[in-house]
């Protein structure tokens, strides 16, 4: 059953859309916001790119048929989250923010990877029952 992958995809898409509308969702906890909590134009551009990526991949996970298409989209999600964990973990200014980013992004990557188990093969159509005559 692909329910976990679908739910994670939907959650990813919703979070991505929210990030585009309100970049503070990502900028404040990562320390990328200004001291007063505002978000610079540059940071807004970056968070929008991340949000758009999440909307695209998450929507794909929510809607793709089971089998190779869904597994590839899950792989893209895992790679994106793993990349977020690596680069935020190396690049953020403070150790607590780096640790938090690694835990959140790495945890999301692991959860999405786990969901691949249910993405399996396309479900076969039910066999036709013979007509009674």
In a domain, 101, yes or no: yes
In a domain, 11, yes or no: yes
Select the more confidently predicted residue: 93 or 123.
Answer: 93
pTM attached to this predicted model: 0.85
Confirm whether 127 is domain-assigned: no
Q: pLDDT value at position 86?
A: 97
pLDDT computed for residue 127 by the predictor: 54
- Quote the number of domains for the chain: 1
For the chain, the 3-state helix, strand and coil shares in percent, each to the nearest 5, are 75, 0, 25
Q: Measured between alpha carbons, how far is 19 from 54 in angstroms, rounded to an integer?
A: 9
Between residues 27 and 120, the one the model is more confident about: 27
Q: E strands along 3-63, which residues?
A: none
* Residue at token pair 């990328």: 32
Asked if residue 111 is part of any domain, the answer here is: yes
Query: How many whole angstroms separate alpha carbon 81 and alpha carbon 107?
Result: 9
- Residue 29 reports pLDDT greater than 70: yes
Mean of per-residue pLDDT scores for the chain: 91
What range defines the domain where residue 90 resides? 3-119
Task: Answer whether residue 83 is part of any domain.
Answer: yes
Q: What is the dihedral of CA 6, 11, 83, 18, to 10 degrees?
A: 150
């Amino acid at each position: 059953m692909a329910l976990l992958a679908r739910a994670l995809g939907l959650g990813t898409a919703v979070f991505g859309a929210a990030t585009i509308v309100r970049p503070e969702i990502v900028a404040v906890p990562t320390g990328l916001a200004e001291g007063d909590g505002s978000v610079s134009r540059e940071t807004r551009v970056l968070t929008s790119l991340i949000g758009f990526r999440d909307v695209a991949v998450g929507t794909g996970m929510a809607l793709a048929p089971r089998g190779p298409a869904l597994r590839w989209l899950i792989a893209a999600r895992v790679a994106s989250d793993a990349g977020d964990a690596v680069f935020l973990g190396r690049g953020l200014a403070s150790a607590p923010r780096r640790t938090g980013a690694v835990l959140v992004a790495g945890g999301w990557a692991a959860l999405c990877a786990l969901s691949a188990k249910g993405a399996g093969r396309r479900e076969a159509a039910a066999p036709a029952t013979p007509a009674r005559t």
